[in-house]
Amino acid sequence: MFTNFFKKVKNFLWPEIYENNRINLFERSPFIKNFFYQRKNFAYLRTFGDIIFLILIILGLFGPQEKDRNIMLFLSWGVWWTSVVLSWFFLGRMWCALCPFPGLARLLQNLKLSFFKNPPKFLKDKGIHLATFLFFLIIYLESTTSLTSSPRYTSFFLISIVLMASFFGLLYREYAWCRYICPLGRITGVAATMALIEFRPDYRICKTCKEVLCKKGTPNIRPCPVYLGAVAVQNNLNCFICGHCLILCPHNSPAVYLRHPLKEIILNKGKGITCAYVIPFLIGSQLARFLMEKDFFHNWANTLAISPNILFTLLFFWFSMVIIVISKLAASFFRVIEDPILGKFNLTIAILIPFAFTGELIYRSKYFLENIGDFFPTLARQFRIEFFFKWGFTAPEKFIKLWSFFLLNLSLLGSLYLIFYFYYKDFEREIPFKRYLHFVGIVFALYLSYYVLIFISK
């Protein structure tokens, strides 16, 4: 009995990644399967999200413009942003299936008010660069402008994304914006490599399928909205886990699986331009943002006689470039950077992925916890509901720090786990452990950097 128990625990904590070591949630839970197959569920959730999204925009445009008198700021930057980041770890890109940004584009296409063109080649090739640039532009504007403290500017920001998504929906069929250009979708796709779930077909069944309806669609049902189809899904990068292909597949091939959260990182090993630049710049932006919250940051700016925004910009690029240079140096010390099947990879980038996305969750949840206590008083001030003033509170600073400390240590454990997994299992101890010590040093140096910037006094 105990032998089987410990075997299961060991198999969960130290699995054979390359085996089909996962749990089919459709087989284990009829509720989950029915939820995905009943397409009206997604329609209801999208409609609800679109209504809330419209209300937020209206509140931002026509409501009070003081930060403490308009709830849309907290709902947008506190609840919505934090929910998106939290979903990375549990739902993969499923948030994209419910996202309100392409709502108007969907309406235009349903009304046949679209040219329904196929996305051009340059969009497929260069979209990743533009999406990455736009994401960090959002981070930059959020940190250096009054965007997060202005309801009207926040509404304009949301409207601008809706208009861009609608423009692409007007030109191209399905979700061209979401697949190739959306900055939030791109970062969500990269972060989904750490998700606990994956949506995959049974490739043995797909090999015998001649219709490929999941990708082509039928006369009555559109094909996959992001041009994949279950047959082409190999990772979490682009699949929305929207379940659209379920009603197209006559063989019941696709399903949702519970998996080891680091599986995809181990398989990819930091391969690809998306990881190579998103991870360093995301970590760099976080270190700069945490530093910008400290009082001595502004003292530095005054001492150097430059604006805080310029200092933030310099630190942002400095931290990012340091991570890039260190990742390349560590890769050269490791020496093995290419595989005949996988191609070139960078283990440093793979090992830093837990820090990049957990660091973003720390930053977003910190904002959420610091401001949630003022939500009902803000609601009371905005709509003159005196009763809600009594519901105000302040989240204990010790709790916020404890939560941040917990998440930071999870990222440390994730990175160390990857190092030892690569050594013991992936490369089967063929490479001396002393080469891995460079990665251990980088991980602890980054951990201390986060710790100092998050927990030192202002």
Strand 197-200 relative to strand 255-258, pairing:
antiparallel
The single-letter code of the amino acid at 364 is R
Distance of CA 120 to the CA centre of its chain: 26
Predicted local distance difference test score (pLDDT) of residue 89? 94
Which residues, 6 or more positions from 238, have their beta carbon under 8 angstroms from its beta carbon?
A: 93, 179, 189, 226, 228
Write the CA distances from 152 to 58, 148, 295, 313, 368, integer angstroms.
9, 10, 28, 25, 20
Q: Which tens digit of pLDDT belongs to each residue from 122-169?
A: 998 888 889 889 999 999 999 999 999 999 999 999 999 999 999 999
Distance of CA 324 to the CA centre of its chain: 20
DSSP state for residue 457 in the 8-state scheme: -
Mean pLDDT throughout 366-389? 94
How many angstroms separate the CA atoms of 447 and 456, rounded? 14
If pLDDT is split at 50, 70 and 90, which confidence band does 45 have? very high
How many angstroms separate the CA atoms of 417 and 29, rounded? 30
| Longest CA–CA separation in the chain, Å | 69
DSSP state for residue 429 in the 8-state scheme: T
Q: Look at the block and give the residue holding tokens 């980041």.
A: 85
Mean pLDDT throughout 422-432? 83
Residue 31 tokens, joined: 């509720």
Which residues, 6 or more positions from 417, have their beta carbon under 8 angstroms from its beta carbon?
A: 262
How many angstroms separate the CA atoms of 270 and 259, rounded? 19
Predicted local distance difference test score (pLDDT) of residue 347? 87
The end-to-end CA distance of the chain, in Å, is: 53
User: Is the model's pLDDT at 273 over the cut of 60?
Assistant: no
State which of 152-161, 207-216, 232-241 shows the largest mean pLDDT.
152-161
Mean pLDDT throughout 81-88? 94
Q: Coil, strand, or helix at residue 124?
A: helix
Backbone angles phi, psi at 266, to 5 degrees: -65, -40
User: Is the model's pLDDT at 36 over the cut of 70?
Assistant: yes
User: Is the model's pLDDT at 374 over the cut of 80?
Assistant: yes
Average pLDDT over the chain, rounded to an integer: 90
Higher per-residue pLDDT: 226 or 335? 226
Predicted local distance difference test score (pLDDT) of residue 269? 83
